[in-house]
Amino acid sequence: MRQLANGTDITFKRPPATAATWTRNDFDDLDAGGGGTSVHPPDATLKDGQYIQDAHASIFGIHPATQGHLEPGETPFYVAPSGTMRGFVDYRVRVPDDDTTGNVTTDWSLDSHEVETVRLLADSEPITTTDGSHTPALDYDLADDEQVQLTFEATISVALTKTIRIERGNITTIDHVDQTETLTVSESTTVEVYNLSATSYYADYPNGDTGVAIFQSQPWQGYTLTGAGTERVRGVWRFYTARDRSWDTLEESTTSGTTSTSSDAIPVYVHAYPSQIGPRAEPVRDGPQIVDTWGRDRIMPADRLGSNINVDVVDEGYETTYGVAVRAERVDRESLRVGGIVRGEDATLTKADTSAEREIRRSNLTAEVLEYNQTHATVRLTLRDNSTGTPIALTSNERWSRLRESPRTGYLTVGDQRVETNMTGVAVVTVEKRGSITAKYHPDSWLGKNPAYVSDTATVRWHPLGTIDGWFTLLVEIGWRLLPFFLAWYAGSRLLRLLLPDTNTYRQP
C-alpha cells in the first residue's frame, strides 16, 4: 500500500470519513497566540482597530462536504444540509507605550481581552450564535436553498486602563480612564447545499427481471438494489482526499513583525471527480446490467485538479450521469438506497411512483428472403408485438415521430447495415453476403416508452445454389473457366503427335 500511495493517489468509491476525522483531530492542535501575538493563515483577511491589531476570523473546515470538479472554472463546494463549521479567531492587543511629559505621567495597563461571541450566518441571517472562543465548532442546519453564502463572524473586545499622574509640588493627582474597543471580523464562502432528492422509475421485463432508473439533478454516487448492498450501480464520480494547502503554514504577527512557521493543523476535504472507469455495475460479471445513462456533457476538469494530484480523471469530455438505468434479477424496492457525493447524504426510496411504472413486452422479429440471384438477395424484416401482433414502427425522422402517439427510435441491424421499419413494421433490405443472415432489433430505452420492448433476433439463409438457375449458372461459369485449360490440353496433344516419331511402323508380309 505504501508503494501504491507513492505512485498514485488512493481513490474511493464512496465519500470517505477520513477527511472529517483528520480535520477534527488536527483542529485540536490549533492554538491562539495570546494577547501579544496573532496567529493566522497567510491568506487571512486581517483587520486593525485602535487597540486590536491583526484580527481575523478564518474558516478552518466545513464537514461533511465535498469539493466537486465538474469542469475547468466550475468547482462547486457541496456541503451537507446539517453539519459543523470549525473556525479560528485570533488577534493581538496593542498597548500604548507609557509616557512622561513634564509633570504628567501616563501609564497603560491591559485589563482584559476576549472573543465575546462567534456567529455563523447564512445569506446574512444568523443561524448559530455561541459564546466566544478562539477555536469554535458551530453546528448548523441550512434550508433547502441551493446556493448559500456562509459567513463566520466573531466579535472581539479589549479593555485597558489609562492612568494619568499629575504632580504639582507635593500634591499628586491620579486619574484612571477606562478604554474599551470592540471589533468584528469575518470570513465568507459560497457553498452549494447538497439536498439529495431522487426520482425513480421501474419496469418489469418479460423474463422476471426488473428495470430501475434513478434521476438526480445534482452529481450523485449511485444506488444499491438490495438491502444487503451487494448489488449496486455507480455513476461516473470517484473520490479522493486532499489537504487545504492554504493552512500548510501559519504566520505569527507581533509588534516586531511577522514570522512564518509550519502548521500542525491542516484541514482535509473530499474531492469528487469524473473517473475514466465511468459508470459501473457490481458485481461486474453477474450483477446488474446498465442499459442507459444520461446527463450533461462537460469538458474534462483535469487541468484544475492540481499538479500533485494523480488520479484516473477523464482525459476528454464526459457525461455527468445524472440518470442511470439498469436491468437486474433482484431488486428490493423497499431497500433501494441512493448515495450522494457528500458523506452521509443518502436517500431511501420507500414508495414507488405508480405513474412511473413501465411495461416491457416481448418483440417478434421475422426475416424472409423475397428474391435472390447470383450476387445479392432481398430480405424482408417484419417486427411486431409478440402478444398482440401490433406492428412496431421505428423512425429517427423527427417530423414523422411528432405525428405518432408513441414514436420509437430503435433500429434493426443486418450485418453492418442499420435500417428502420415503416408504419406496418416492415423493412426491406438488400444483402450481398451469402449464407446465414442474422437480423437484430435494438430497442430504444424503456424510460420514455410505454409499452417498451426487449430485443429479438431472426436468422435466414440464402445461396445461389438453392435454385436450378443457380446450378446452371454455376456449371456455365465452371465451363468457361475450364475452357482455356481444355484448349491448351488439346493443342498440346496435337502438337506432340506431329513432333514425335511414329512408333507403329507398318511392315509388308
pLDDT at 482 over 60: yes
pLDDT at 399 over 50: no
Q: Apex CA 365: angle with CA 390 and CA 451, to 5°?
A: 45
Q: Residue 356 in 3-state DSSP?
A: helix
pLDDT at 16 over 60: yes
User: What is the C-alpha separation between 245 and 58, in angstroms, rounded?
Assistant: 14
- Over residues 409-425, the mean pLDDT reads 88
- Over residues 90-99, the mean pLDDT reads 93
Residues in CB range of 430: below 8 A, 6 or more apart: 376, 377, 378, 379
- Over residues 427-446, the mean pLDDT reads 86
Which residue type does 456 have? D
- How far are the Cα atoms of 8, 18, 189, 239 from residue 2, in angstroms, in the given order? 10, 17, 36, 19
- Over residues 177-188, the mean pLDDT reads 96
C-alpha cell at 456: 429479438
What's the whole-number average pLDDT of the chain? 85
Predicted pLDDT of residue 489:
77
- Over residues 285-301, the mean pLDDT reads 87
Q: Apex CA 499: angle with CA 493 and CA 503, to 5°?
A: 90
Predicted pLDDT of residue 404:
44
Residue with cell 472507469: 277
Q: How many CB atoms lie within 10 A of CB 342?
A: 29
C-alpha cell at 29: 492542535
Residue with cell 434479477: 329
Strand partners for 35: none
Q: Of all residues in the chain, what percent carry a pLDDT higher than 70?
A: 88
pLDDT band at 341 (very low <50, low <70, confident <90, very high): very high
Give the containing element (helix H, strand E) for 109.
strand 104-122
- Over residues 49-69, the mean pLDDT reads 96
- Over residues 2-28, the mean pLDDT reads 83
Predicted pLDDT of residue 263:
94
Predicted pLDDT of residue 402:
39
Q: What is the DSSP letter of 502?
A: P
Q: Which segment of 1-5, 33-37, 284-288 scores lowest on mean pLDDT?
A: 1-5
C-alpha cell at 83: 453539519
pLDDT band at 306 (very low <50, low <70, confident <90, very high): confident
pLDDT at 329 over 80: yes
Pair 237, 272: CB distance under 8 Å: yes
pLDDT at 464 over 80: no
Pair 124, 189: CB distance under 8 Å: no
Q: What is the DSSP letter of 47?
A: B
Q: Which segment of 99-103, 159-163, 333-337 scores lowest on mean pLDDT?
A: 333-337
Pair 435, 463: CB distance under 8 Å: yes
Q: Of all residues in the chain, what percent carry a pLDDT higher than 90?
A: 46
Predicted pLDDT of residue 155:
97
pLDDT at 403 over 50: no
Predicted pLDDT of residue 400:
42
Predicted pLDDT of residue 353:
52
User: What is the C-alpha separation between 113 and 345, in angstroms, rounded?
Assistant: 41
pLDDT band at 469 (very low <50, low <70, confident <90, very high): low
pLDDT at 391 over 80: yes
Task: Return the higher-pLDDT residue of 461 and 64.
Answer: 64
- Over residues 360-372, the mean pLDDT reads 89
